[in-house]
Structure formats: C-alpha cells, structure tokens
A and B are shown apart, each in its own frame.
Chain A
Amino acid sequence: MALPPTELTANVTEPQLGPDVGPHGNRQWQIFWSSPLAWIGLVLTAFMVLFSFVGPLVYHTSAYTPHLTHILQPPSARFPLGTNTLGRDELARLMLGGQLTLIIGFIAALLSMVFGTIYGLASALAGGFTDVVMMRIIDVLLAIPGLFLLLLLDSMFTPNAVLLTAIFAGTAWFGVTRLVRSEALSVRTRDYVEAARSMGAGTWRIMLRHLLPNVMGVVLVTTTFQVAGAILGIATLSFLGLGLPPPQPNWGAQLSTAMQSMFQGAWWVIYPPGLCIVFIELGVNFLGDAVRQAFDPRLLGN
C-alpha cells in the first residue's frame, strides 16, 4: 500500500520552488542525508537485506529438511526460532523467504517505474485527444481494486518468480503514470522546451533530455513507496496461497501455515514472519518519506 503521493500537501500549501534548485542539484541529497528518517530507513532495509542474503551463509541449517521428530517445537539451541508444522526450521525459512520477496519487490518497482514514466511522458507530450484516451485507460485501471487484479492474474497462471514480478510491475505502473504526466504537463510549456522544439529536437530527445530530469523527483518518491507496495503484495498473495508454490518459503505463506497452529499457542510461527514484513516495510516507508522530503518539488522550500 503506497501513500497517496502528497495530494494533500498540494491542496494545502502553495506550490513553491526552492531558490535555484536544478534538477540534478546536490541540495536534495543533502536534505536526504540530513534526515534521521533516511538513516533509520537505511539501517532497517540493510538489516533485512543482510538477514536474507548473508544470513544463510552464516546459518547453515536447511530450510527444506523436515525434522519429523521435531514438529512445531518452540525455539531451542538447535532451532533458534523453532520449527513449523512440518518440522522445518523457521529461521532458515525466514531468511530464504526474504530473498525472493526482496528481489521481486525491487525489480517489480523498477520495471513499473520505467514503464509508468514512459507512458506518462508520452501522454503529456502527445496532448490533445491521444492524451485524453491514454489517461482514460489509466482511470479504468486505477478503479479496479489492486488485490482483485493481482488475484485474478495470479490464479490464471502457475506462479513463478518471473511471472510474479511481471504481475506486480504490470499492476503498479499506472499510479506512477498519472503523477509523471501531471508533472510533465507543467514543464511541457516552459520556454526551454519550446526552444528545444523550435531547434528541431525530436520527441524522444525532448522527453529524455528536457522532461525526464524534471519529473525524476516524483518518480523517485513513488518508486520507493512502490517497493513497499510490491513487498506487501507478495506477502499478501502468498498468504492467500497464490504465491510461489511450496516448499518455497515466503513470509506470507509462513503466516498462512501458522494459522493452522493458532490454537496450540505456537507464538514462534506467528510473530517472526510478521515482524520481518513490518521491518522491511518500515525501512522502505521511512526511506520513502525521506526521499519525499528531499525530492518532491512541491515540498521544496517548505
């Protein structure tokens, strides 16, 4: 779930531009690094990345081997976070489950950023009737509840990592598009774009050289929140039993299994997977807020 990008701020405060802030200015990064939110976010995100990718190098227990004599055991020296209903080691599964979640989340957000930006810029540049039609399509896609769309697409194919990435990217890009378009529209009629056009610059050149740098702030902010959205989406789909097929571990799927042992008081299968999701979501959301403070042109100067 991404935050609605600063619609509210746009309503409440007058749009202001900071003094002479170029699109590539270092000032934004200075603001970013001086924010405590950025640092907390980085630490949390880095922690989860290390946990998922470096963790298995340190902790060698297999995530797949069922220990049939140790079913649903509480944490012990042998199994630091206990075992699940199949006697599999929970800690190892948490680490392994994080890997694909993070990879899919980041790649899906990047893909949706690229596609959404191109579509939004194209729509703004085209203008007129084409623009209206292109945006109407976005209206329609935005109106469908995202989870319904994910569920539907996911249930039609046998999920694998590539497909999941495609589905998340494919259902997330329209949010970026709208923002990019409105941002690009405000730049499109500026004198320097007119000048470039009159000098014979082609559509692609205007798009890449003149519009893109100006919308990068908005794009960066949305993309960060989309990483959070995609990770949450993967967890939710896996929880609903539509993620990667078992025995592939995933935080959401682990929680779904945990529900079966709800009545046995097995807290070690209920809390850790949820906390993993919260940590990475918190980290990315903090980063997103720090990026927004630094890069959102509507907030600059405040």
Chain B
Amino acid sequence: MGRYILQRFIQAIPTVIGLTIVSFMLVHITPGGPAYAMLGPKATPARVAAVDRSLGLNLPLWDQYGIWAWQLLHLNLGISYFYLQPVTVLIEQALPVTLAIVGISYVLAHGIAVVLGSVQAYFKNGWFDHGTTSINYFLYSMPGFWLAILLLVWFAVDIPLFPTGNLCDPNTVCNLGTWAYHMVLPVMSLTIGTVAGWARYMRTSMTDTLVQDYIRTARAKGLSETRVLFKHAWRNSVLPLITLLGYFFPTIFGGALVVEEIFNIPGMGLLTFNAAIKRDYPIVMAAVLIGGILVVIGNLVADLLYGLVDPRISYG
C-alpha cells in the first residue's frame, strides 16, 4: 500500500509540472498585457514599457517562467497587480471559503444521491423510480446559475427566509451560525444539480448489485430486507461512485465560481473571475494552478479510497 501511494504521487508530478506550464503559458501568449489594463487610457508606449520592465514582462518567456516557477517553489505566488497584496494572502482568505462550499455540497450530494439511487433501484420501474428519474433529468439539464437565481428569487426575495448574498452581514456578528445561515442557498444551488447527476449512477450500480448471487443468498438466509439492502448491497454499489468523486471535481469547481458570483461570496471563484476580467495575471495563474492541483489530489484520493473500500484491489 505504501509503495503504491508513493508510486501514484510520483506519477502525479509530471501532471503538476504540466499544470504550471499551462497556467503560465495561458496568460503569457495572449495579447493585451496587464500594462494596458493597469494604465487604461493613460497608456503610452513609454509607460507601457516602464510597467513591463517593472513587472519583468520584457524578459524572454522562459526566463519569466523560470523566475515564476522558482518563486512558486518557495510558495511565493507574486503580488496582485490590482489588490497590491501578495497572492498567497488573497488565496489564504478565499480558498477556505470555496473549499467549504464545495466540500459541504459534495458530502450532501453524495449522501442524498446514494439514498435516492438505492431507493430507486429497490423500487425499480415503480412510480417513485420514474418520478425521480424525470425530476433528475430536468434538474440535470438546468443551468446551475438559473437554479441559483430561482432559489434566490423564491427563498430570499419572495419569501425572505435567507440572505441574498455575502458571507456575513456587516451589521451582525460573524459567527458559525450566521455563516451557516448565509451558506444555505449557495450550498443548495450546488448540491441539487450534483445530486441529479449522481443519483442515476447510484441507481444503475444498485440495480446491478441487487441481482447478484450473494444478495439472493442473503435473502435466502432469511435476513431482513433492510439488512440485505443496507448491509450487503449498499457497500458494493457505492464503489463506482468513488470514481465519480474525482471526475466531478472540476465541474463542481466551475459551479462554485458561478454560485460565488451570484451570491457575492468572496471565494476562489469570485477572486478568479474578477482577476480574469482585470487581467490580474498572478492571481489567474495561481487559480488555474491550484484548481488543477486540487483536481489531481481529488483523483489521487479517489484512487486510494477505492483501494481501501474494495478488498478485491490490492496495491501489493
């Protein structure tokens, strides 16, 4: 097991190096440098050249990459052109917010999808199954931002149950309670769409499990239906969902961006969005890199979890 983990880590290294190259190239091969964005109408060739010099943008690309990568190794992601603060500081504030939204939604979506899919499979082709499948199709085809707007209109405007945005009211004390209160709608927006995608996989998986021989054996032994379903069938049918954990990670990250934009939540998504529009290169590069690394880690964890849960896979 230890050797396998090490091996997977080593395999991930080229991917991460690739990510640094891609995120660097993406912002450097494109026209319209930050100098123009910073200077605005005051841009003259001389001023642009001066800004480029001060930011090191006049150096050859490979030198720029070298400097950036070297600083990266020291966890120095540069200084934001606009906030004039170190990018690491900005990300330290924003990343936990996004990880919280994504993490909570992930766990909730997983739990709900597993239960929903199992019940669907158990009552296959019954009214519950068909009803849930139809609703899921609809929710699945719904753009995340529309769902968020609808939740906002229904539960914050028409029936003012929840706040329309922000993480904390400026007028109230910020504690876990107010924080959770502000999180309800964003997390709901992200969870509902994800459940719709996952439940169908759980349903397929559970359907396949329920016809296995050992399930028949368990029933023949006289075990109760709940025991058969939750003890014997469930464990095996959850396996494929673990692979999906890694697969859906980039999608959920993108979803978080939209949700943060709508609810004005100061997470990575909002930070990246604003930075991309202002061409704040250091933030954008860091965001692409961190997003990518999180996905790589997500896949790694999914792989290892798979091995932990499924005794048939040995990492010898």
A: residues with CB less than 8 A from B are 1, 3-4, 7-9, 11-13, 136-137, 139-149, 151-153, 155-157, 228, 232, 235-236, 239-240, 242, 252, 255, 258-259, 262-263, 265, 270, 273-274, 277-278, 281-282, 285-286
Contact = CB atoms under 8 A, between A and B. Distances in A.
Contacts of A252: 143, 145
B170 interface: no
A258 B243 CA distance: 38
B239 A274 contact: no
B110 interface: no
B112 to A, nearest CB: 18
A13 B248 CA distance: 22
Contacts of B244: 4, 7-8
B123 interface: no
Contacts of A142: 250, 295
Contact of A156 (B31, B146, B272): B31
Interface stretch (B69-77, B133-141, B225-233): B133-141
Given A139-B18, A157-B30, A259 B149 contact: yes
A281 B146 CA distance: 13
Nearest to A12: B208
Given A156-B279, A239-B258, A270-B150, A278 B138 contact: yes
Given A155-B276, A255-B149, A282-B141, A1 B197 contact: yes
A148 B288 contact: yes
Interface of B: 14-15, 18-19, 21-23, 26-27, 30-32, 137-138, 140-146, 149-150, 152-153, 157-158, 197, 201, 204-205, 208, 239-240, 243-244, 247-248, 250-251, 253-255, 257-258, 261-262, 272-273, 276-277, 279, 284, 287-288, 291-293, 295-296, 299
A144 B19 contact: yes
A273 B208 CA distance: 39
A144 B292 contact: yes
B243 A145 contact: no
Given A4-B244, A7-B244, 8 more contacts: A11-B240, A143-B19, A145-B254, A145-B295, A147-B258, A148-B254, A232-B143, A281-B143
A270 B257 CA distance: 21
B77 to A, nearest CB: 16
Given A8-B205, A145-B291, A151 B22 contact: no
B93 to A, nearest CB: 19
A143 B295 CA distance: 6
Contacts of B204: 8-9, 12
Given A258-B149, A262-B149, A136 B157 contact: no
Given A143-B19, A255-B146, A7 B243 contact: yes
30 contacts: A4-B248, A8-B201, A8-B204, A8-B240, A11-B243, A12-B204, A140-B15, A140-B18, A140-B22, A142-B250, A144-B22, A145-B250, A145-B251, A147-B257, A148-B287, A151-B272, A152-B26, A152-B288, A156-B30, A235-B143, A236-B143, A236-B145, A236-B258, A240-B261, A259-B149, A262-B157, A274-B142, A281-B141, A282-B137, A285-B140
B197 A3 contact: yes
A137 B284 CA distance: 20
A263 B247 CA distance: 38
A286 B141 CA distance: 10
A54 B27 CA distance: 41
A240 B291 contact: no
Nearest to B241: A8
Nearest to B30: A156
Contacts of B158: 265
A136 B141 contact: no
Contacts of A11: 239-240, 243
Contacts of A282: 137-138, 141
A7 B246 CA distance: 12
Given A8-B240, A156-B32, A157-B30, A263 B292 contact: no
A140 B19 contact: yes
Closest 8 pairs (CB-CB, A-B): A147-B254, A140-B18, A281-B141, A274-B146, A145-B253, A145-B250, A156-B30, A155-B276
Nearest to B289: A144
A7 B239 CA distance: 12
A116 to B, nearest CB: 17
B14 A136 contact: yes
Contacts of B250: 142-146
